Amino acid sequence: MKITNKILEKHGIKNEEYESIQKLLKREPNFLELGIFSAMWNEHCSYKSSRVHLKKLPTKGKQVIQGPGENAGVIDIGDEDAIVFKIESHNHPSYIEPYQGAATGVGGILRDVFTMGARPIALLNSIHFGSPDHPKTKSLLNGVVSGIGGYGNCIGIPTVAGETKFNDTYNENILVNAMAVGHAKKNKIFYSKAKGINKSVVYVGSKTGRDGIHGASMASAEFDENSEEKKPTVQVGDPFTEKLLLEACLELMKDDSIIAIQDMGAAGLTSSSVEMASKGSLGIELQLEKVPCREENMTPYEMMLSESQERMLIILEDGKEENAKKIFKKWDLDFVIIGKTTNTKNLTLKFNNKIEGEIPIEALASKAPVYKRKWVKKSLPKKTVDLKKLKKIKLEDALIKILSSPNHSNKSWITDQYDQMVMCDTIQRSGSDAAIIKIHNKEKAIAVSVDSSANYCKSHPSSGGKQIVCENWRNLISVGAKPLAITNCLNFGNPENEKIMGEFAECLDGIKEACEFLDYPVVSGNVSFYNGTNNKNIFPTPVIGGVGLISSLRKPINHKLKKEKSSLILIGKTFGHLDQSCFLKENYSISDGAPPKINLVNEKNNGEVVLSLINKDLVLAAHDVSNGGLIVSLSEMAMNSYYGMKIEKVKKLRNLFEYFFGEDQGRYILEVEHSNSPKVKKMLSDANIYYENIGYTQKKYFEIEGEFKININDLSKMNNQWYNNY
Amino acid sequence: MKSSVIVFPGSNCDRDIAVALEKMQFKNQMVWHKETTLPKSDLIVIPGGFSYGDYLRSGAIAGKSLIIEEVIKAANSGCFILGICNGFQILTETGLLKGTLLRNKNLKFINRDVNIKVINNSSKFTSKYKLGQVLKINIAHNEGNYFTDDKHLKELKRENLIAFKYCDEKGKISEDSNPNGAIENIAGILNAKKNILGMMPHPERMIDKLVSNTDGLNLFSSLLN
């Protein structure tokens, strides 16, 4: 077949890229080879626009066993235990086909984790939808939530935490990011690097169908009005088969049969085989007629580009084939030797012994294009809000407006659809600052949280990038965990647009700065560009997934108030930063101005001291102050709990709205037993931490002295109704 | 006491129930669905999960699997059988328990701690509970809406075969405290001989204070009695 411009366009290959392909091959590629280049060179697989910036991120630390570049990141949690985790996007497929898109997003990220020898122990997600009034939002929300639940519930891994946000910016391009966390033994981690020649390359798992062909290329382009037509590029998930694959792989991993293993995710058989060969500086030869197919007459092109789910590629040690086959047969899964490693450094594709395509591995991997795209810096927006010019409202009404808004309403309508308890190690379920998962049969636990702040990132990307890392760090601290490392999912618009590329570069600068300062390295992640439709790009939305360690097990700390008449202490300084706040957005529809400043020194000090107070059992409840400011965080501590509080009259001529709704960073609220209060305050003073006594807990009522008093059940009711009425 | 947990492809609460049984000092064995003989057991547990993916009707394929014939034989000779969640669904598919589990009334998967009331405390499974005791137990299912015909419902009541009903914190049984639409708030039932219990709530998830509570423990200690 002659390669025409139309064919190139369909494959998302630019003319200059096609020239490089010809140079690398020293000839024209055939159709199959072109397909393979398109699968490996697209943005999703090659990171061609992001690579130069990703290099900036700190990826090392004492706690890091494996940083980015493998299927998932691996960290050390002491003893013989390791945690394997990663987050990944499935935005484009989920917009086209919400149930399957979200479900396969979960399936894909789980494979990344168990490929490395870890048993998955927790799932998290960050999902972003357009305005609730947009005609598509409701069905997308329903589809995505049931897809996430459908997969996780069936495979039997608890979905323990997440975030759901609504914003017009996602009207035509929703975000679905899924994170998986697994537990492995430190000395039993499996990697994707091939070693040795003439080793068997084995295909295991589901059969290959025609679903998902060009999925990765689809994810590397913007949407337009014809996006619906891309439905066939979305894969179909089968969590049951994945459960079998998970158990079979973990069973095989008990001995030393595996040299390398790689899941067939984006770009399926192509990327898995190229990846393993590339890491081992080897070649790989596949006999495609042996690939188990579920449809008739599939061509090599279709086999190589299919993104059918629940498949793995394994390179086995000599002589281990029979035993491995037995395990996969037991689980009723396909097990076929489809090729071998070679010393040619080529990807060689044969069909009935005829060579259908041959490409140097390095042309697909290390020689893939890298772009230093142009980008522009964003200046810090000026302060815009003058409260005096705004229509007057009551403090109580402003609070209720926020608590009953879609973004702040109680999310149990969503979380009730996820099995959070299966595996019986979930100590803290969703709804708290972070979820806590016990390490099975061990006296320790991990805490996990995912966070994003698209509004802050849009307003000033580098501040926003810094802020999310800090917020994520704070969320782990608030449940008494020592933050160890993060994974990030970088959701951005079109990188060919200089402004968007600027948002990307600067968000990463912010993330880098915060991660470095907090010793909170990035160990895995994923970049999703081209989130937009018809030149309308989404707000920059980096999502951070953090993992922390609770090294000695105790009843978990969470944000719910525990006792009557205990002291409430606010840690960190309140300046009253209202620009970019929920208060202005929900009450006045204003979203201008700069995000709050981050002071990394205070952030670190405050966090470390809070953690040490929790570890000394001096804290009854803890909550970080984030979106919505102090008053929203306080009400979250009271809602759906047994106790309310009385916040004493605010002194010092402060503006009430700035004080209560300002979104200044680095703050926590602690509930401390009255008798422990002097001790806690002394420790805070000794550590040079700024704090304020703000009040005490009481039964039944949430009360701001001199302003209003409301029954906590009424407050909870207002917080609980939006989803049920939607 | 010897127990066996049947493991189907797609079972996912098999480890959880094994942990609970071992914690209660049962001598437990896992039995793979392709086995054709059962180890000698006093108790057989069919765990929760999505056997064979439940792509057909929940429990339908498991109800026809090789090992299930052995389970039926054991049940008929008086062995105690406990089916939890998907296990309950499978037991209704085999006919060991009557009735069926329909889609939840709200057509959604529900995972939540709910209250259930002990209606029968004279069975081998429930003797350690007090009559009318309110337990807080986790549910996690798509099809937990128990339904049966009038004749069987009358039998259930007459013969005291309803083990648990959904209720509120105070023990009040009403539509508001019914999470899935089950007929008369039924959460678990016994067979006529009272050696088989099927229930939607997961007692194995309630055996550790740190994770949840210990309301499930007495179900296992009742069996040890």
- Which helix (DSSP H) or strand (DSSP E) does residue B105 occupy? none
The residue of chain A with its CA nearest to that of B140 is: A419
| Mutate which: A421, A442, A444, vs B, most B CBs within 10 A | A421
- Specify which residues B30 forms β-bridges with: B5
- Per domain, the residue ranges of chain B are 2-224
The C-alpha of B77 sits at a distance from chain A's nearest C-alpha, in angstroms, of: 30
Helix, coil or strand: residue A47 = coil
pLDDT of residue A219: 60
Q: What is the mean pLDDT of residues B43-64?
A: 93
Confidence of residue A217 (pLDDT cuts 50, 70, 90): low
The amino acid at A629: G
The answer, yes or no, to whether residue A167 has pLDDT greater than 80, is: yes
Minimal-distance CA residue of chain B relative to A160:
B111
Q: What is the pLDDT of residue A233?
A: 67
- Distance CA(A74)–CA(A186), nearest Å, equals 9
Q: What is the pLDDT of residues A360-389, one digit of tens each?
A: 999 999 999 999 999 999 999 987 788 888
**Residues 6 or more apart whose Cβ sits within 8 Å of residue B34:** B66, B67
How far does the CA of residue B101 sit from the closest CA of chain A (Å)? Answer: 17
In A479-599, which residue ranges form alpha helices assigned H by DSSP?
498-518, 582-588
- Extract the tokens encoding B118: 């002990």
pLDDT of amino acid A45: 86
> Helices then strands (H, E): number in chain B?
5, 11
- Chain B closest-CA separation from residue A427 CA (Å): 4
Predicted confidence at residue A1, as pLDDT, reads 72
Superfamily of domain B2-224: Class I glutamine amidotransferase (GATase) domain (3.40.50.880)
A150/B109 touch (CB, cutoff 8 Å), yes or no? yes
pLDDT at A218 over 90: no
Chain A residue nearest residue B213, CA to CA: A427
What confidence score (pLDDT) does residue A265 get?
Answer: 83
Does residue A573 surpass a pLDDT of 70? yes
| Helix ranges restricted to H, chain B | 14-23, 66-76, 86-94, 150-158, 217-224
CA atoms within 13 A on the CB side of A390: 17
Confidence of residue A10 (pLDDT cuts 50, 70, 90): confident
Q: Clarify whether B202 is annotated catalytic.
A: yes
Proportion of chain A above pLDDT 90, given as a percent: 89
pLDDT computed for residue B15 by the predictor? 98
pLDDT digits (tens, 9 = 90+) for A465-518: 999 999 999 999 999 999 999 999 999 999 999 999 999 999 999 999 999 999
To the query of whether residue B167 is one of the catalytic residues in this protein, the response is no
Choose among B16, B50, B208: nearest Cβ to A240.
Answer: B50
Residues of chain B contacting residue A425, judged by C-beta atoms under 8 Å apart? 211
Summarised one tens digit per residue, pLDDT across range A679-720 is 999 999 999 999 999 999 999 999 999 999 999 999 999 999
Q: Band the pLDDT of A316: cuts 50, 70, 90.
A: very high
- Residues of A taking part in catalysis: 44, 90
CA nearest neighbour of A667 among A689, A649, A647: A689
Shortest CA gap B87–chain A (Å): 14
pLDDT at position B139, please?
98
Of A418, A422, A426, the CB nearest to B12: A422
Assess whether pLDDT exceeds 90 at residue A235: no
Does A156 sit within 8 Å of B13, measured CB to CB? yes
pLDDT tens digits for range A328-359:
999 999 999 999 999 999 999 999 999 999 99
Task: Report which of residues A641 and B90 the model is more confident about.
Answer: B90
CB within 8 Å: B140 and A421: yes
Check whether A214 has a pLDDT greater than 80: no
Q: Nearest CA of chain B to the CA of A588: how many Å?
A: 36
Nearest CA in chain B to A428: B211
Q: At what angle do helices A600-615 and A677-686 cross, to 10 degrees?
A: 140
Residues A73 and A156: beta-carbon distance below 8 Å:
no
* Average pLDDT in chain A: 94
Q: What is the pLDDT of residue A650?
A: 83
B58 → chain A, closest CA residue: A154
B204 contact residues in A (CB cutoff 8 A): 424
Q: Which residues of A598-610 are buried (b: 16+ CB within 10 A; e: fewer)?
A: bbbebbbbbbebb
Q: Distance between CA A567 and CA A640 in Å, rounded?
A: 19
Q: State percent of chain A over pLDDT 70.
A: 97
Q: Say if residue A544's pLDDT is above 80.
A: yes
Q: With CB atoms and an 8 Å threshold, state whether A153 touches B210.
A: no
Alpha carbon of residue A252 to chain centroid: 29
CB contact at 8 A, A345 and A216: no
User: Which chain A residue shows the shortest CA-CA distance from B15?
Assistant: A423
pLDDT digits (tens, 9 = 90+) for A624-669: 999 999 999 999 999 988 999 999 988 766 899 999 999 999 999 9
Unique residue bearing structure tokens 């931490």: A689
Which of B12, B15, B210 has its CB closest to that of A243?
B12
Catalytic residue among B33, B93, B167, B202: B202
A228 pLDDT more than 80: no
Distance of residue B31 Cα from the nearest chain A Cα, in angstroms: 13
Task: For residue A146, list chain B residues with Cβ-Cβ distance below 8 A.
Answer: 108-109
The per-residue pLDDT for A134 is 97
- A421–B208: do the CB atoms touch at under 8 Å? no
Q: Which has more pLDDT, A387 or A525?
A: A525
For residue A557, the one-letter residue type is I
A268 has a pLDDT exceeding 70: yes
Cβ–Cβ of B212/A240 closer than 8 Å? no
DSSP letter at B155 equals H
Query: Which residues of chain B lie closer than 8 angstroms to A415, CB-CB?
Result: 111
- Of residues B157, B178, B176, the one with CA closest to residue B166: B178
pLDDT tens column, A68-102 = 999 999 999 999 999 999 999 999 999 999 999 99
- Return the bridge partners of B101, or none: B146
- Residue A134's CB is within 10 A of a number of other CB atoms, namely 15
Query: What's residue A383's pLDDT?
Result: 76
- Angle at which helix A712-720 crosses helix A395-403, to 10 degrees, equals 40
Q: Looking at residue A230, what is its pLDDT?
A: 62
| Mutate which: B7, B12, B17, vs A, most A CBs within 10 A | B12
Of A146, A239, A427, the CB nearest to B211: A427
